[in-house]
Amino acid sequence: MKKKVAFYTLGCKLNFSETSTIARSFVDEGFQRVDFSQKADMYVINTCSVTENADKKFKTIVKQAQKGNPKAFIAAVGCYAQLKPEELVAVDGVDLVLGATEKFKITDYINDLSKNDFGEVHSCEIEEADFYVSSYAIGDRTRAFLKVQDGCDYKCTYCTIPLARGISRSDSLENVLLKAKEIADQNIKEIVLTGVNIGDYGKGEFGNKKHEHTFLDLVKALDDVDGIHRLRISSIEPNLLKNETIDFVAQSKTFVPHFHIPLQSGSDALLKLMKRRYLTQLYTDRIQRIKEVIPNCCIGVDVIVGFPGETEERFLETYHFLNNLDISYLHVFTYSERDNTEAASMEGVVPKDVRNKRSKMLRALSVKKRRAFYESQLGAELEVLFEGENKEGYIHGFTQNYVKVKTPWNPALVNTIHQVRLKDIADDGLVAIDFVDEKIMA
């Protein structure tokens, strides 16, 4: 009988891509991968350290694993495992904690999967996380997350990622193209490029600090890979999203009109306290440039509320800045103090109830922005890539510019691309469609 292993991933797309790679190493060693809800001999939890909630959720997931099999071997990997291994290993039921570099060699650290009286920790100093491990995740049959870069050299005062993942380093251009082709050959229609700071792509490509290639070089090379229908850029810093990249995406064969650009605050005073590498004027310039050359582009924005020093006036500055900006939706993060960051000891702490109130205001603004963007697209003829799940009798999909649509469930539509007309917005906020071309295009 093959030993069974199950995985749970907290956090970002990058974590998902790495979980998939780790899972494939288990399959290569003769394990059978099963769903986390099933009984397994071993459970692997890939952790996140971005917010307090991700920390708390870890204990819940360990209990879930114990419920599935009280005798199962439980391992923790990922960012939280690198930052606070002793905290994780102290959680009842955890047998093994691996840091930033060790996680990719997890099968070397397990023997007979028998439970230990005390958990083991293997965690390097973060300075040793200076080599690159290639990863990609296939979440469903339609989309894959391809890691192109890892680590970060920025020193944002609220962020633990450089402490958890180390210096900025990149996959080689040759290997990225190889992996992209490997994904395309599995009949996956869309690839999402991921990393910690993907605009910094090229740094550390061959183990040195200089850039062998730029992010624009990467984008141009990927555009020529045969068999890829869609390429999507995940989050990219505004100071690293150059006009040349925006202009290339505007006329690209495969890159879709969708950017996700972190802002974090609409107050220049707060951006300086956060040690971000731009001010609001540069951000405004980027949005305007995108809308000039790609008018139907979807633009997502990350924003943090409740950062130390965020007075009511500064919060309203952010609110009005976003309200007046031609963007499509927000990802709102409520600030939570992280150990070993500058912000944790800053003055001007915002009470938690105020943080929550401001978070609700920005989430409501996001709903309004998304609705306005969807309304602006009604009547347009666009291509939709349909996904694989039957949700209450409907199949969902996304247009190139990230409008989420739905139509009555039809299994023949799964992983196909159709030309549709956006008809109207349903009660659940998704867009109903008419098919323009009934023939399956891809």
Per-residue pLDDT of 211-258, as tens digits, reads 789 999 999 999 999 999 999 999 999 999 999 999 999 999 999 999
Compute and round to an integer the Cα radius of gyration of the chain. Answer: 22
Query: Does the pLDDT at position 417 exceed 60?
Result: yes
Confidence at residue 439, expressed as pLDDT on a 0 to 100 scale:
59
CATH class of 133-256: alpha beta
Mean pLDDT calculated for residue range 309-338: 97
Q: What is the mean pLDDT of the chain?
A: 92
pLDDT confidence bin for 404, thresholds 50/70/90: very high
- Reported as a single tens digit per residue, the pLDDT across 76-106 is 999 989 999 999 999 999 999 998 889 989 9
Residues forming CATH 2.40.50 domain(s) in the chain:
381-435
**Top-confidence residue, 114 or 110:** 110
pLDDT confidence bin for 125, thresholds 50/70/90: confident
Fold of 4-128: Rossmann fold (3.40.50)
pLDDT confidence bin for 437, thresholds 50/70/90: confident
pLDDT confidence bin for 140, thresholds 50/70/90: low
Confidence at residue 62, expressed as pLDDT on a 0 to 100 scale:
95
Q: Calculate what percentage of the chain has a pLDDT beyond 70.
A: 97
Location of structure tokens 């605009």:
199
Burial of 224 (0-12, 13-18, 19+ CB in 10 A): exposed
Query: Does the pLDDT at position 191 exceed 70?
Result: yes
- Reported as a single tens digit per residue, the pLDDT across 264-279 is 999 999 999 999 999 9
Query: Does the pLDDT at position 51 exceed 80?
Result: no
> CATH number of the domain at 381-435, out of 1.20.140, 1.10.10, 1.10.3470, 2.40.50?
2.40.50
**For 126-271, where are the E strands, in sequence order?**
136-138, 143-147, 149-150, 169-170, 190-194, 230-233, 258-260
Location of structure tokens 């867009």:
431
Residues forming CATH 3.30.750.200 domain(s) in the chain:
258-377
Query: Which of the given ranges, 89-93, 315-319, 437-441, has the highest pLDDT on average?
Result: 315-319
Neighbours of 176 (CB within 10 A): 25
Q: Which residues pair with 434 in a beta bridge?
A: 421
Q: What is the CATH number of domain 258-377?
A: 3.30.750.200
For 407, the token pair is 């139509």
- Reported as a single tens digit per residue, the pLDDT across 338-382 is 999 999 999 999 999 999 999 999 999 999 999 999 999 999 999
| Closest CA relative to residue 248, chosen from 226, 205, 217 | 217
Confidence at residue 139, expressed as pLDDT on a 0 to 100 scale:
62
Least confident of 43-47, 66-70, 201-205, 245-249: 201-205
Q: What is the pTM of this model?
A: 0.89
**β-pair type (4-9, 42-47):** parallel
Location of structure tokens 């624009």:
216
**Are the CB atoms for 82 and 126 separated by under 8 Å?**
yes
For 83, the token pair is 């930052």
Residues forming CATH 3.40.50.12160 domain(s) in the chain:
4-128
Least confident of 36-40, 163-167, 209-213: 209-213
Confidence at residue 55, expressed as pLDDT on a 0 to 100 scale:
67
Neighbours of 98 (CB within 10 A): 27
pLDDT confidence bin for 11, thresholds 50/70/90: confident
